Amino acid sequence: MGEFDFSVWGPSLPFIRDGLLFTLRLTLIAMSGGIVIGTLLALARLSPVKPLSLVAGAYVDTMRSIPLVMVILWFFLVIPFLTGTPVGAETSAIITFTAFEAAFYCEIMRSGIQSVPRGQVWAAQALGLTQTQAMVHVVLPQALRNMLPVLLTQTIVLFQDTSLVYAIGAKDLLKAADVVGKNYNRPVEMIVLSALIYFAICFSLSLAVRQLQKRVAIVR
């Protein structure tokens, strides 16, 4: 073992940038898709229509009971089987994460919806709004606002978890660092670099969430 040689960081940057961009894209798509689908799942879970709430509940419980890395591998194998064509590791990762995170965002949105007092729904309905209008204009905006810090914290976890796409060879930040490390025979230095990038992004996001929590606390 020789000494550390961090000069590999310079030439690695274009690869690292591409990997990071994919990681960010994956996080953003899975977050927005996950929140939208998760909200629909939450509405289904809270629905008085029994079959709807049972199906949504089963979906959420299943997703939350399987290790993410297995879901990633499983989707990677199953999606080509279902569609008949291989979709590639990146697309597979995006679909998987959206579907998986939806289960977690669902539970957050569900408690968010339940945190809105019953009187708010009464007031909306007393003004003549339909149930759907009351949900869209009165309940969901408040649920989102109440849950914003929790949703963002879940997104930070999601950002870290995207490194698991490594398992199917999608070219994310970790994979880029790994490839460069192998090419230059400097794996440790490259792992350190990727860890620093994950840390810097997650830590600043956490600080931002903490600030946000203070502001939300004042408004409430």
Give residues in contact with other proteins (CB under 8 A).
Answer: 117, 119-120, 122-130, 133, 137-138, 141-142, 145, 219-220
Smallest gap from Cβ 116 to other proteins, in A, equals: 10
Q: Kindly list the distances between the CA atom of residue 50 and the CA atoms of 29, 119, 167, 173, in Å, as whole numbers in the listed order.
A: 30, 24, 38, 43
Closer of 44 and 138 to other proteins (Cβ): 138
* CB closer to other proteins, 111 vs 120: 120
Minimum distance from residue 63 beta carbon to other proteins (Å): 30
Task: State the nearest-atom distance from the C-beta of 46 to other proteins, in Å.
Answer: 19
Closest CB to other proteins among residues 123, 200: 123
Q: Find tokens 């400097």 and name the residue.
A: 186
| Nearest distance, CB of residue 35 and other proteins, angstroms | 17
Tokens of 37: 């689908």
Q: Are 156 and 206 in contact (CB under 8 A)?
A: yes
CA distance 220 to 216: 6
Nearer to other proteins, 74 or 122 (CB): 122
Which letter, b or e, does each residue of 147-163 get, where b requires 16 or more Cβ atoms within 10 Å of its Cβ? bbbbbbbbbbebbebbb
